Chain A
Amino acid sequence: MPFIPHSEQDIEQMLSTIGANSIDDLFDEIPADLRCGDLEKIPKGMNEMEVTRLLRDRAAQDGLPLCFLGAGAYEHHIPAAVWEITTRGEFYSAYTPYQAEASQGTLQLLYEYQSMMASLMGMDVSNASLYDGASALSEAVLMAVRANRKSKSRKILMPRTINPVYRKVTEAIVKNQEIELVEVPYDSETGQTDLTALEQFVGEDYAALVIPQPNFFGVIENVDALTAWAAENKILSIGVVNPMAMALLKPPGEWAEIGVDIACGEGQPLGVPLASGGPYFGFMCCKQQHVRQMPGRIIGRTTDLEGKQGFTLTLQAREQHIRRSKATSNICTNQGLLVTAATIYMSLLGPDGLKKVALNSHKTTQALAVRLSSIEGVSIVFSGQTFHECVLRIATDTRKLIDELAKDHHILAGFNLSVDYSELGDTILVCATETRTEEDIEKFAITLENVLNK
């Protein structure tokens, strides 16, 4: 049977039952000037062979560049077993199924994922994932406004060191709910969020403080001081972290001993390959006391009537199929397939393996920074310690430089910061994970030297 829900005959029968002449008649209500008509800019359909050819040609244009670009998505080695297992028929489903408890395997996998994330973050609970890191932060902001019952405020303190894309996405999602994002400046020496600048916010009512770790500059923030400051001022804290870095650094559940209220971020580094625009997945964890305000699904372990272990959707009462418009979120779904890959990736590497990847990435980036800053006209901008990214100032037009290195030398040199952070001038954000070798770094350095000395 083809996947065509209605035959011509079905349609005619339905139309005659309600007394309409055509499907177009059903849209009569919509004034003609509000209709978009034909979609002229959308080209005509192509057959499978033509589409394959087109996309193969386009993919070839990308080539196989040497990647020193991070800025939110990172190239890590993914063991072949990860996607081999993930794409087995038993796992190959993007959603928690509608008759959820019939799929015990899927629920168990999500339960294992939640357990791993809660452990990695040092938090009480994790949900079954969100769309991506940026929307996870947006959901965390909405959640904090709901959860902070000591505060009537709809204002959020958002450091300028947060990923600018996250800030834009969050702004777009929360602005129509009258939530205001108030920027916290950074220290131009260290690249860390400026603790002294926080003093100006004391005494005012804010719902939450966002704390990135590491921040967009790759710099490690003074998370203990920030978390403690938020708690002292009865402001909730939202940690936005790179999960890979948490294998090495103190997890958000332990910051300032009390831990943050909500931890979230982008899950891509855990077994998800780089792709233009995703799909990636967001993660979110929180303290037990806030669990009823957390959006998304949570899987629980229980026992059935016969005493056998089973897995079940829990805390569903605030989800949209029950609460409709009053649900904790109406725009969240979990990224089941990517979470499956992440769970398998974490299982294969284990805590020690993750730590090795994180440490290796850190060391490789240190080596990159030292080598590149030895070139005349290139310098390290911030004194703050970094994880696996670093900001470099280069005495040239960085936008042109990045284009030239990509086009003529197949090197993705980094992220141009001069647009989002114009105060920094010509600067780029570079990254080297465990996948970059000494030879790679040398190749980048020599090419950069040649281009700058031209």
Chain B
Amino acid sequence: MSNTPDDRKYADSHEWALLEADGNVRVGISDHAQELLGDLVFVELPEVGQSVGKGDECSVVESVKAASDIYSPVTGEIIAINDSLEDSPEAINESSYDDGWIFVVKPVDTSELDDLLDAEGYENLIEDE
């Protein structure tokens, strides 16, 4: 489990949130989450311009055996979505921390990120599961 990048924060619900240089927050799901879900077959993306609250459901990832909601880790507005997931949802399986990002939020208050777990805390969480 040493492949959890320590440049970002993690939610209990297995999303990662990366604060970028421009102050926006990129969101995806952890490697652990994609492994639990199995082969992804569909991603229902949020709409650009949609406003989201911290903890709001805003996307759904669907594998052959389950469909899971993705919750926004911060409050703000969706300013970008990963369109390429519509045709190749497997990018999440192959590169959950990189090419498999799902959406970008322009946050209202970046201090909300402080409530999330760091890489070590998240690794402890999934070990306990």
Contacts and interface: CB of A to CB of B under 8 A. Distances in A.
A318 interface: yes
19 contacts: A149-B47, A292-B42, A292-B44, A292-B62, A317-B41, A317-B62, A317-B63, A317-B64, A317-B65, A317-B66, A317-B67, A318-B62, A318-B67, A322-B65, A322-B66, A322-B67, A323-B67, A326-B67, A326-B69
Nearest to B57: A326
Interface string B48-68: 000000000000001111110
A64 B69 CA distance: 56
Contacts of B65: 317, 322
A205 to B, nearest CB: 14
Contacts of A317: 41, 62-67
B36 to A, nearest CB: 13
Given A317-B64, A322-B65, A323-B67, 11 more contacts: A292-B42, A292-B44, A317-B41, A317-B62, A317-B63, A317-B65, A317-B66, A317-B67, A318-B62, A318-B67, A326-B67
Contacts of A292: 42, 44, 62
Interface of B: 41-42, 44, 47, 62-67, 69
Interface string A311-355: 000000110001100100000000000000000000000000000
A406 to B, nearest CB: 51
Contacts of B62: 292, 317-318
Contacts of A322: 65-67
Shortest beta-carbon contacts, A-B, top 4: A317-B67, A317-B62, A318-B67, A322-B66
Contacts, number: 19
Interface residues of A, number: 7
A99 to B, nearest CB: 16
Interface of A: 149, 292, 317-318, 322-323, 326
Contacts of A326: 67, 69
Contacts of A318: 62, 67
B103 to A, nearest CB: 14
Tell which of B42, B62, B67, B69 has the most Cβ of chain A within 10 Å.
Answer: B67
A292 B66 CA distance: 13
Contacts of A149: 47
Nearest to A149: B47
A318 to B, nearest CB: 5
B39 to A, nearest CB: 11
B55 to A, nearest CB: 15
Nearest to A291: B42
A323 B61 CA distance: 12
B14 to A, nearest CB: 16
A149 B63 CA distance: 22
A326 B61 CA distance: 13
A357 to B, nearest CB: 40
Nearest to B47: A149
A391 B128 CA distance: 69
Contacts of A323: 67
Contacts of B41: 317
